[in-house]
């Protein structure tokens, strides 16, 4: 059960329909993937996803170097492996590129550990439940017209999703943001929850004013209304609104989440696997938030996050944005709006080897 090798590759998965996100054109999903093979022949894999090519080659190179540090270690000692990699890169960390480089290896180690002991990760981490409500988050960009937005929401509802998340923050007045919410409400009816993500585009005053208007329009959460560095400002928004504010996906360290939670500056803590550095530190943030009575959510990578959120007693909805689906034989099932955690060992995922070879690029 010791790690015999770590293989790393960079992949570019082109999109059939490019879109605008945070003011940038996205035409491909870039992946840095690590595959761990043990002395017993068990293979586990993990990856991060990026929307831009810039720095992906640097991350892949760093992941390859870090992978050499864990050879000979047991796949059942993920905590020790994570800290060995973090210490080696402490001169460029904590956080930043270092955490992104660690993440694929950390996920791969957990995957191999689950396969070694014959258990799915959600059970290894606690097994609070085996499924969780998912929200559709792909195809609701603010570059869409109202008709396109409504059509996308209607499609998600027809697929069984009971919650959708819209990107907002591009309108000049609160009324424009409300109009987008109402267009979706008219399309999906009263039983589908509508969440909104402002992608850190507003000032504090604008966030409170628009947040109240959106609250009246019936949204169920407001995500990232102002820059994540403004913790006092976020605390004011939390105090001003009745709906929960979600934030945290841009934070890199457990200590960052400690400051956020101590300031009562979020109602739902969002944890990004790449930025936090993988499953190992993700667990610590979830436990920290539980101590503050705060629910946690993931950011993208639903095929991994369904395990982590199902394991955590304070796990909230799974963000369904399947950016890696073309690399896998299948995604975990979404049934009646609930994403079901696979009961197969590890993360229960199988690579489409032909697709992986086709999308691999030189780094």
What are the tens digits of pLDDT across the range 269-325?
999 999 999 999 999 999 999 999 999 999 999 999 999 999 999 999 999 999 999
Closest alpha carbon to 182 in 147, 207, 155, 208: 147
Q: Which residue has the higher pLDDT, 74 or 22?
A: 74
Residues 6+ apart with CB under 8 A from 115: 42, 43, 44, 345, 346
State both tokens at 74.
């047991």
Mean pLDDT for 6-35 is 90
Sign of CA dihedral 331, 336, 340, 344: negative
Q: Which long-range contacts (CB under 8 A, 24 or more apart) does 226-232 make?
A: 226/200, 226/202, 227/200, 228/200, 230/204, 231/259, 231/260, 231/263, 231/265, 232/263, 232/265
Mean pLDDT for 324-350 is 97
For residue 313, the model assigns a pLDDT of 98
Tell me yes or no: is domain 3-118 CATH 3.40.630.10.
no
> According to CATH, where is 3.30.390.10 located in the chain?
3-118
User: Is the pLDDT reported for residue 92 higher than 70?
Assistant: yes
State both tokens at 128.
């609070």
How large a percentage of the chain has pLDDT more than 70?
100
**The CATH homologous superfamily of the domain defined by 122-340:** Enolase-like C-terminal domain (3.20.20.120)
For residue 22, the model assigns a pLDDT of 67
> According to CATH, where is 3.20.20.120 located in the chain?
122-340
Other beta carbons within 10 Å of 123:
18
Closest alpha carbon to 324 in 96, 55, 28, 37: 28
Which pLDDT band, with edges at 50, 70 and 90, does 18 fall under? confident
pLDDT tens per residue across span 95-134:
999 999 999 999 999 999 999 999 999 999 999 999 999 9
Do 181 and 217 meet the contact criterion of CB atoms below 8 Å apart? yes
For residue 153, the model assigns a pLDDT of 96
Which pLDDT band, with edges at 50, 70 and 90, does 20 fall under? confident
For residue 318, the model assigns a pLDDT of 98
Query: Coil, strand, or helix at residue 346?
Result: strand
Residue 325 has what DSSP assignment? G
Angle made by CA atoms 135, 165, 255, in degrees to the nearest 5 = 85
For residue 235, the model assigns a pLDDT of 98
Mean pLDDT for 5-27 is 88
Q: Which helix (H) or strand (E) holds 104?
A: helix 96-117
Distance separating alpha carbons of residues 225 and 208, to the nearest angstrom: 9
Instruction: Return the residue matching tokens 């499953």.
Output: 279
Distance separating alpha carbons of residues 351 and 325, to the nearest angstrom: 10
For residue 143, the model assigns a pLDDT of 85
State both tokens at 273.
């696997």
Do 72 and 2 meet the contact criterion of CB atoms below 8 Å apart? yes
Mean pLDDT for 156-184 is 96
Question: Please, where are the H alpha helices in 241-361?
Answer: 254-262, 273-276, 279-291, 302-311, 353-359
Is there a cis peptide before residue 155, judged by omega within 30 degrees of 0? no
Distance separating alpha carbons of residues 81 and 244, to the nearest angstrom: 36
Closest alpha carbon to 296 in 307, 288, 286: 286
Average pLDDT value over all residues in the chain: 96
User: Is the pLDDT reported for residue 21 higher than 80?
Assistant: no
Which pLDDT band, with edges at 50, 70 and 90, does 175 fall under? very high
Lowest mean pLDDT, pick from 19-33, 99-113, 221-235, 275-289: 19-33
Secondary structure (DSSP) of 35-89: EEEETTS-EEEEEEEESSSTTHHHHHHHHHHHHTTSTTSBTT-HHHHHHHHHHHT
């Amino acid at each position: 059960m010791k790690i015999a090798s770590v293989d790393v590759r960079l992949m570019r998965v082109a999109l059939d329909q490019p879109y605008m996100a945070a003011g940038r054109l996205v035409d491909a999903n870039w992946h840095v993937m690590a595959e761990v093979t043990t002395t017993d022949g068990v293979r586990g894999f993990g990856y991060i996803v990026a929307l831009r090519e810039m720095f992906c080659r640097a991350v892949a190179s760093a992941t390859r170097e870090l992978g050499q540090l864990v050879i000979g270690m047991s796949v059942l000692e993920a905590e020790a492996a994570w800290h060995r990699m973090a210490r080696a890169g402490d001169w460029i960390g904590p956080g930043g590129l270092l955490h992104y480089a660690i993440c694929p290896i950390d996920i791969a180690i957990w995957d191999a550990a689950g396969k070694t002991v014959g258990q799915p990760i959600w059970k290894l981490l606690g097994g609070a439940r085996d499924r969780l409500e998912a929200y559709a988050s792909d195809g609701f960009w603010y570059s869409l017209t109202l008709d396109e937005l409504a059509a996308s929401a209607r499609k998600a509802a027809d697929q069984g999703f009971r919650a959708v998340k819209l990107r907002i923050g591009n309108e000049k007045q609160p009324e424009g943001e409300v109009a987008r919410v109402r267009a979706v409400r008219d399309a999906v009816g009263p039983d589908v929850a509508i969440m909104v993500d402002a992608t850190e585009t507003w000032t504090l005053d604008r966030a409170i004013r628009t947040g109240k208007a959106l609250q009246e329009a019936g949204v169920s959460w407001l995500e990232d209304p102002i820059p994540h560095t403004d913790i006092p400002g976020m605390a004011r928004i939390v105090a001003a609104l009745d709906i929960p504010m979600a934030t945290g996906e841009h934070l890199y360290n457990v200590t960052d989440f400690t400051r956020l939670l101590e300031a009562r500056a979020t109602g739902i803590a969002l944890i990004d696997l790449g930025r936090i550095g993988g499953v190992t530190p993700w667990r610590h943030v979830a436990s920290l938030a539980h101590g503050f009575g705060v629910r946690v959510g993931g950011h993208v990578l639903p095929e991994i996050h369904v395990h982590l959120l199902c394991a955590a007693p304070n796990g909230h909805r799974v963000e369904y944005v399947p950016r890696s689906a073309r690399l896998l034989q299948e995604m975990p099932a979404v049934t009646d709006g609930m994403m079901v955690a696979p009961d197969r060992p590890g993360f229960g995922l199988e690579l489409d080897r032909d697709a992986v070879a086709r999308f691999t690029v030189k780094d």
